[in-house]
Amino acid sequence: MPHITDADRGGAGPGKTTREGDDPVDHVTWIVGNWKMHGTREALGEALAIKRGAQMLNATPHGSGSGASAGDLVRFVICPPATLLRDMARCLDARPGDGRSCVALGGQDCHWAPEGPYTGDVSARMLADAGAEYVLIGHSERRSGHHENGPMIRAKGMAAAAAGLVPIFCVGENSRGEGFGDGFGSSARTISAQLGEVLPADPLRPLIIAYEPNWAIGTGMTPEGEEIVEMAALLRHAAIERSPVPPDQIVILYGGSVRPDNASAILGLAGVNGVLVGGASHSADKFLAIGAKAIAPAI
Ligand code: PGA
């Protein structure tokens, strides 16, 4: 197993991720919502409420001397069902590539091929065409429900990047591992192996990895804070080892039962740049309350 250093553990923390070549986003915390198979056009109002709230949050003076401008503090990403992407992009006036927009859109999955005889699938290019800027890749519900494996997920990530999307690679163990004391239990081995299988050779900027223990998804259970710190450090270290990406381009998210009442503690963990939220993401109130913790943890 790799040797995790203190730099890996504290390497980023919320609000310390930069994107080279873009407007400076030195103080970004990522709040990504996975709507899963929820939402028809009636839910567009909820997305609009998220956008308004996100704008207000980012316009709120934050601390002293942060130097951050509007849009730089908390980056919200909504990943709605593919059927809603185009309408949501119009409704939110979401502009892919516009680093200043507070809310960007993402797909929940894409095929590895640009087009072809794949009934029911959606390509990365189609997602981009519909207004997506990001796409979740290898979510555990795709791994378990659609038998996706490492090579498929890697190919999807490459297809996403080729279409101009930023892939968000999801990794996570099925059951709570033992031996967390030193951070190198079976869970650590699982996610390290998963990451090794899915990371493309070409550098991605940013490289976004979501640590989502399957046993925490939708269950109300979350790992202890130090467990998340260890896993985030392990992923950061493994990403640096395996991908020619500058360390300050690596974004590590935690996902699994993130709620307004635990978001503050999770977002405050060293090496965690944000959260991937499922159940609490399609309610504007809850999603914004989670985002607010990135700015004012005590609220
Ligand atoms: P949850 O889902 O927040 O409902 O646990 C997270 C996810 O599946 O991405």
**Catalytic residue list contains 147:** no
pLDDT tens-place string over residues 78-130: 999 999 999 999 999 887 776 666 899 999 999 999 999 999 999 999 999 99
- Given 139, 148, 173, 237, the catalytic residue: 139
Higher pLDDT among residues 14 and 102, named by residue: 102
Report CA-CA distances (Å) from 86 to 10, 33, 133.
38, 17, 12
**What is the DSSP pairing of strand 207-211 with strand 166-171?**
parallel
Ligand 1 contacts CB of residue 278 (under 6 A): yes
Ligand 1 contacts CB of residue 257 (under 6 A): yes
Joined tokens for residue 287: 């999603």
Ligand 1 contacts CB of residue 276 (under 6 A): yes
Ligand 1 contacts CB of residue 255 (under 6 A): yes
| pLDDT at 13 (0 to 100) | 43
| pLDDT at 12 (0 to 100) | 43
Are 197 and 166 contacting, i.e. CB atoms less than 8 angstroms apart? Answer: no
| pLDDT at 23 (0 to 100) | 42
Helix (H, G, I), strand (E, B) or coil at 112: coil
Which candidate, 269, 208, 210, 270, places its Cα nearest to that of 243? 208
Atom of ligand 1 nearest to the CA of 219: 5
Ligand 1 contacts CB of residue 212 (under 6 A): yes
- Mean pLDDT is lowest, of 1-5, 212-216, 239-243, for 1-5
Q: Where are the beta strands (DSSP E) in the chain?
A: 29-34, 74-79, 103-107, 134-137, 166-171, 207-211, 250-255, 274-277
d(CA 126, CA 148): 20
Q: Tell me the CA–centroid distance for residue 143 and ligand 1, in Å.
A: 14
Reported pTM? 0.89
- Given 46, 133, 173, 212, the catalytic residue: 212
pLDDT tens-place string over residues 28-85: 899 999 999 999 999 999 999 999 999 999 887 654 333 444 445 899 999 999 999 9
Residue type, 223: P
Q: Tell me the CA–centroid distance for residue 117 and ligand 1, in Å.
A: 31
Residue 15 clears pLDDT 80, i.e. is over it: no
Nearest CA to ligand 1 atom 9: 278
Most informative mutation of 30, 34, 38, 275 for ligand 1 (most atoms within 8 A of CB):
34
| pLDDT at 9 (0 to 100) | 60
Nearest CA to ligand 1 atom 2: 278
Atom of ligand 1 nearest to the CA of 170: 9
Atom of ligand 1 nearest to the CA of 259: 3
Neighbours of 190 (CB within 10 A): 18
Q: Tell me the CA–centroid distance for residue 64 and ligand 1, in Å.
A: 33
What is the mean pLDDT of the segment spanning 274-291? 97
| pLDDT at 94 (0 to 100) | 84
| pLDDT at 202 (0 to 100) | 82
Q: What are residue 77's phi and psi, to 5 degrees? A: -130, 125
Neighbour-count burial of 29, counting CB atoms closer than 10 A to its CB (0-12 exposed, 13-18 middle, 19+ buried) = buried
**Catalytic residue list contains 212:** yes
Are 233 and 271 contacting, i.e. CB atoms less than 8 angstroms apart? Answer: yes
